[in-house]
A = this chain, B = another copy of it.
Amino acid sequence: MSDAAAKKFTLRNPDWESLVRDILDRQPIVKTLGIEIEELSPGRCTLAMDFRPELAQQHGFFQAGVVSILADNAGGMAAASLMPAGADILAVEFKINFIAPAKGSRMRARAEVVKAGRTLTISQITVSMQDGDREVDCALMQQTCMAVGG
């Protein structure tokens, strides 16, 4: 856990990490796509997945919607980390700008909560592609999630 993250957010659930991993584990699509957690701290989450040709669009890059799946999920997990015990998380809306082709061998979505409210949590997510030695940002998302239950 970074000091910045620790200072910025109020933890409402001592078992936040179990809750996040459990929500992710219960999503069949996470297994289907091979999505993995690379980093996790309160209010922050990095998810990653390897490129697979069957998820490509017409130029052989990740299709825009696949980029959205990873980004949306990373934002949801960052938000879930700050929720009370027993809560579940719903995506309310998001907006994504595609700033470069999603070209490379591995995609990463780094999410950070910018506002954790009682009802709504707002996150910013940056998606990058690992392309050989270079890592290039390819998309930016602003997302709203809602806690339900808990």
Contacts and interface: CB of A to CB of B under 8 A. Distances in A.
A70 B66 CA distance: 10
Given A63-B27, A120-B92, A97 B142 contact: yes
What copy number does this chain have within its complex?
4
A130 to B, nearest CB: 18
A2 interface: no
Interface string A22-57: 010011110110000000000000000000011111
Contact of A55 (B32, B114, B117): B32
Contacts of A94: 64, 95-96
A141 B117 CA distance: 18
Contacts of A31: 54
In order of increasing CB-CB distance, the 9 nearest A-B pairs are A65-B69, A95-B95, A99-B115, A26-B58, A64-B91, A93-B97, A68-B68, A32-B54, A65-B68
